[in-house]
Amino acid sequence: MERIVEGKRLDYTIEEAVLSSKQGTSLSLIVNELILNALKHSGNSVEVKFRVDLDYAILTVTDDGPGLPANFDVKYASNTGLALIENLARWDLQGETGYKNREHSSGAQISVSFPLIPQPETAGNVN
């Protein structure tokens, strides 16, 4: 899918996943923060992918902006949004984050991966 946001192209591919309410809430905050940050720093486009690999979910947001500074370390970044993403990913989702520059062009790629929590097949089914 594709959308135009603030004059920039936003491409997204989203796979279905069953999330707990806590996971859904935390993930929506992370997605919002990453997309806003990517739109702010991108040249013309932002790509969002959410996929499921066995029992893990992987969110990747890629932009075509200047990329991350050399020797970037999120622990020393003065960005409250990244601190929020780190905390939500680690503490709410029991996941991890990854930060890197794109290999063959300019731009940054930030990923969040976390384990999916098995959900009961039928709510209210008590055995």
* Tens-digit pLDDT string for the chain (127 aa): 777 777 889 999 999 999 999 999 999 999 999 999 999 988 899 999 999 999 999 999 999 999 998 888 888 777 788 999 999 999 999 999 999 999 888 999 999 999 998 766 655 444 4
CA separation, residue 96 to residues 11, 21, 30 (Å) = 23, 19, 12
Give the pLDDT of residue 1.
73
How would you classify the pairing of strands 45-53 and 8-14? parallel
Give the pLDDT of residue 34.
96
Instruction: Answer whether 27's CB lies under 8 Å from 14's CB.
Output: no
Give the pLDDT of residue 107.
95
- Write down the residue that tokens 């893990």 correspond to: 56
CATH number of 2-115: 3.30.565.10
Give the pLDDT of residue 60.
98
Give the pLDDT of residue 121.
63
The reported pTM is 0.87
What would the DSSP string read from start to end of 39-56? HHH-SSEEEEEEEEETTE
Listed by start position, the domains of the chain span 2-115
